[in-house]
Amino acid sequence: MKRKAQRKGLVRPDLKPSSWIYFLFFFSGISGLIYQVVWTRMLTLVFGHTIYSVSVVLSAFMAGLGLGSYLYGTTIDKVGKPLLVYGKVELLIGLSAAFLSLLFSKFSPVYAWFYQWMPDLFFQTGLVKAGLAFSLVLIPTIFMGATLPIMAKYFVTGETHAGKQVGYLYSINTFGAAAGCLVAGYFLIEYLGVLQTALVAASVNIFIGIFCVLKFKKSDPETPIQWNLPKPAPHSFQFEKENILWIAVSFLCGFSALAYEVVWTRILVFGIGSTVYSFSLMLANFLFGITVGGLLIVPFFKRNYNFRILLTLFQLGIGIYIVFSIYQSDWVLSSFFRPLRMESPLSEFWIDVRNASALMFFPTLLFGMSFPVLTHLVTRGSENIGSSLGLIYAVNTLGGILGSLVAGYLLLPNVGSQQTLTFLAMLNVLTGILLFATSTYFSGVLRKGIAVSISILLILVLGLMPDDLLQGIFLRNSLGKKKPESLVYLNEGLTTTVAVFNDDDDNFGLRRKSLILNGVNMSANHMHSQKYMTLLSYIPLLLIEDPKDVLVICFGTGLTSGAAGVYPGIDTVDAVDISPGVFIAAPHFSDTNYDAVKNPKIHQIVQDGRNHLLTTSKKYDVITAEPPPPTNAGAVNLYTREYYELTKKALKPGGIVSQWIPLHSQTETHIYEHFRTFLESFPYVMSWYPSKQELIIIGSNDPLDIDFKKIQKRFEHPAVKNVMGKIRFENPFTLLGSIWFLKRELEAMGSRQRLITDNNASLEFFLSAPNAVSKENVYRFLKNRASFSSAISMVKNLTKADTENLKKFWDQRLNAEYAGDMFELGVQFLNKNDLRRANEKLMEAVKLDPSFVLAHYFLGNSLAAIRDFKQAENHFQSAIQLQPDFAEAHGALGNILAAQGNLDGAITKFEKAIEIKPNLFEAQINLGIAWEHKGESDKAHSHYKKAIRLQPQDDQAYLMLANSLYNNKKWKEAVNYYREVLKLNPELVQARENLKKAQQQAGNKNTSK
């Protein structure tokens, strides 16, 4: 009789739950998040590392979890034997996950075959990606989603509180998920590899499944084990009026929680960066908050609390904290991300934890407390715990999917982070108000009055909120914090926050424009960057006979694409970038990128560059890539062997791949790994070193044809002469003099290193390699340069005179490297006002490299500071001769001429500086002063006013204009400008005294405040 009852599920042989199962459920959570991290990584290699692909994969994952919870919630209520069912489910998770991981590791060719038969339209390809992701990921994730209601059925008996047990289970499993994020992101993938990490997680599930089945068998040895899973039963949840409210609240909790996560992820990159560790840390922090919330709510179930009021307070608390975090964003996110913070990885880890926790821990804690409460409110007892929990979990997950999509696709790109957070906070507060207004607290009139009062207060707070409260975060970058007035362009796009700044405070004190992506300096338009970005396309273009088609992966400022687009004979330049914002920002760099976005030959393609190579059938003469340094999340996909194999297949006969290798943000070992990996794909390889700490490595399927006479002839074309002249590579000797490593040297350095592969991408795990390559190591590295005789043996049609000339440029290039270090030391001494040592170092720099423009410029400034005007004039003249459009040098020379009494010459130079760069503030000021000394006060006033328009927050131009008006007895105007001066700088005593005198002279008896 007992056995019959057991088979009907009326008597449970596992009536007394084992505490070991908690432990196993924790490890099940670990494996679940490992799958999410690993499968997202694997599938973005196939679908592309875009927001669309990531969203599709995560949505498929979450949909499976929700569907599994919904389907098996009622089923477990009806069939019983939860421990046995749980064991079988864990076995199926492990087996299906292992199979799926093996499939994903080989899935790229399958997707490429699918893509051939699809129209090249965003909607259709998006549907195919979604269909493939959902069909593949759904099976194991359905089983994962089933585990929580099954475990709830196992632990919740007639004597236990449903909310209490759900709180424990939810917290334990979520804590395992948080641990899984950290273990996978920080250790397993680095040391085991991507596929192996997934297989380890599958092994954990299989072990758990076997353990639970054996434990069930031990508790009831007479019951035969049937390995088939019970079929999902129809849902038996009672949709009462009150329960519908809790279902709606569960949906809103899921919606707002995942929407917050999307926004927080975008904001946190300005504090903890966008690295392989960042996502794991952010997600782990998010899950840890939920874990703590689930544990903290457990004691409340032991007493008869009013759970409706608790839920009301949770929703109000979430919304209020979000509004507080908006107002106090700079305090909440206290430090800014600094790449390669490697001196103390552990301390930097805790700084990142503090940043993430300050932003998200309190709201996620309240979300974690809400879920068990909602389950408790809809559960009648142990008999319907599975169906109740399953429905609440499924609805919460559905809300999460929609919340992440709405925030990522609709809100963030259209209204920005602040307005998105504001909307979500309002949603939480209104939910709290709704719960309060529909309750039975107080009298109906009083209750409605309180609800209306809170609503009005909410409207006032949000209505009066300034719209730039998060600007302080967006002004951050990896070098510090920018001035608000330097921001030229800001776009919070789908994938990236793109910003362009006018920098007047860079390391060399010269103005430039910088491109900042997610808070990290990615590029700029100074000469150093212009050299390597131009040559990234021009080295291969100058070597190939009649190139037609170019692929540029990573558009950046547009210089590589723009320069390629004006090369003679080019038909198409396909410029591919994952972020549409960089194309929108490109016109801000039009003075250096040859108006790339206006060139009809340049096709803007918003796509993952690697995915473009995987799916295109087009062949190219030149393929260039300048991805972010590989420590940036996802960038390593453009440095792996599999990526180079894709480029190799996309080359025309004789085509060349040109890859940027940064020397400033990696370890020496990592640089050698680049060489080993590149050599693995290309039989013909060499590298060039055009500017400091920037290496270009080129490879081809065919022998590289370096014909001096052909290159010389190509240099004579006006377009090539213009482009190469701008970066001061005026002839073939400067180009060939930058050859650095041939294949033999690259093999010697890279032969013993690891390959960089999709499965083992060691480059991005920088915490285990705590020292970026130092200057000393760079020198040792550069000393491996190929011999001159080896290099010229690859160059055809060199005469004896050509060889001798080339040798001079060859030697100068190495001297230029040492000159760069002397220059940096000189600038440091100059900034410390140590003029003697500044002059020594800067003089040494120009001796080593007479063509070093900036060294001449700063040496001129240093000599001017000790009043050696004649020598300073010579060096400014040298800088201008080397770079005629160097506006700052023209302005500095004007100052020297003015100091020597040559006002006419000074005016000419100031006007030239302004002609080159109309927004040059100092030149406008100094031109005004020069005209003042010439007695032309009206002209002086005109330039002072132009300077004010350029920098309205600078008191200098106001003061110069006010003093000039005062001296010319224009009292009323002087009064107005002195007042502006004192608004900006109240400490200027002389300005305050002059204001009083001017007021008296103007007949105005009012004293200044």
Q: Can you read off the two tokens belonging to residue 801?
A: 């005179």
Mean pLDDT rounded to a whole number for the chain? 86
- Tokens 């599920």 belong to 9
How many secondary structure helices (H) and strands (E) does the chain include? 41, 16
Quick one: average pLDDT of 166-175?
90
Length of the chain, in residues: 1009
Of the chain, the percentage scoring pLDDT greater than 90 comes to: 47
**Minimum mean pLDDT range among 385-389, 419-423, 685-689, 691-695:** 385-389
Q: Give the pLDDT confidence score for residue 236 in this predicted structure.
A: 56
Q: Which domains does the chain have, with CATH numbers?
A: 1-224 (1.20.1250), 237-474 (1.20.1250), 475-517 (no CATH), 545-797 (3.40.50.150), 954-1009 (1.25.40)
Q: Give the pLDDT confidence score for residue 758 in this predicted structure.
A: 94
Of the chain, the percentage scoring pLDDT greater than 70 comes to: 89
Name the strands in the sheet holding 487-492, side by side, starting at the edge strand that comes first in the sequence. Answer: 487-492, 497-503, 512-517, 520-524
Nearest-angstrom CA–CA distance, 143 and 128: 24
Quick one: average pLDDT of 961-987?
88
Q: Give the pLDDT confidence score for residue 61 in this predicted structure.
A: 87
Q: Give the pLDDT confidence score for residue 925 in this predicted structure.
A: 92
From start to end of 417-571, where are the E strands? 476-477, 480-481, 487-492, 497-503, 512-517, 520-524, 549-553
User: Residue 395 — pLDDT band, cuts 50, 70, 90?
Assistant: very high
Instruction: Compute how many other C-beta atoms are within 10 angstroms of the C-beta atom of residue 229.
Output: 16
Quick one: average pLDDT of 293-320?
89
Helix (H, G, I), strand (E, B) or coil at 107: coil
Nearest-angstrom CA–CA distance, 787 and 781: 14
Nearest-angstrom CA–CA distance, 319 and 424: 8
The string of pLDDT tens digits covering residues 849-887 is 888 888 999 999 999 999 999 999 999 999 999 989 899
Q: Give the pLDDT confidence score for residue 746 in this predicted structure.
A: 96
Nearest to 184 by CA among 89, 81, 276, 64: 276
Helix (H, G, I), strand (E, B) or coil at 283: helix
- Tokens 């130092």 belong to 774
Q: Give the pLDDT confidence score for residue 203 in this predicted structure.
A: 98
Q: Give the pLDDT confidence score for residue 380 in this predicted structure.
A: 61
Quick one: average pLDDT of 944-955?
87
Q: Output the pTM of the full model.
A: 0.84
Q: Give the pLDDT confidence score for residue 9 in this predicted structure.
A: 40
Instruction: Compute how many other C-beta atoms are within 10 angstroms of the C-beta atom of residue 967.
Output: 12
- Tokens 């001079």 belong to 808
Which position has the higher pLDDT, 621 or 150? 621
235, pLDDT greater than 70: no
Q: Can you read off the two tokens belonging to residue 740?
A: 């650095």
- Tokens 């005004």 belong to 928
The string of pLDDT tens digits covering residues 506-517 is 444 456 788 988
User: Residue 612 — pLDDT band, cuts 50, 70, 90?
Assistant: very high
DSSP line for 893-919: HHHHHHHTT-HHHHHHHHHHHHHH-TT
Which stretch, 2-6, 434-438, 510-514, 721-725, has highest mean pLDDT?
A: 721-725
**Minimum mean pLDDT range among 116-125, 577-586, 602-611, 688-697:** 116-125
Quick one: average pLDDT of 645-665?
94
Q: Give the pLDDT confidence score for residue 654 in this predicted structure.
A: 96
From start to end of 6-93, where are the E strands? none
User: Residue 258 — pLDDT band, cuts 50, 70, 90?
Assistant: very high
Nearest-angstrom CA–CA distance, 631 and 769: 11
User: Residue 770 — pLDDT band, cuts 50, 70, 90?
Assistant: low
Longest distance between any two alpha carbons in the chain, whole Å: 117
Q: Give the pLDDT confidence score for residue 124 in this predicted structure.
A: 58
55 neighbors 408 (Cβ within 8 angstroms): yes
User: Residue 136 — pLDDT band, cuts 50, 70, 90?
Assistant: confident
**φ, ψ for residue 89, nearest 5 deg:** -65, -45
Nearest-angstrom CA–CA distance, 549 and 554: 16
859: CB partners within 8 A, 6+ apart = 826, 839, 842, 843, 845, 846, 872, 875
**Minimum mean pLDDT range among 245-254, 323-332, 333-342, 691-700:** 333-342
Q: Give the pLDDT confidence score for residue 7 in this predicted structure.
A: 40
The string of pLDDT tens digits covering residues 90-117 is 999 999 999 999 999 888 887 777 776 6
The string of pLDDT tens digits covering residues 178-218 is 999 999 999 999 999 999 999 999 999 999 999 999 988 88
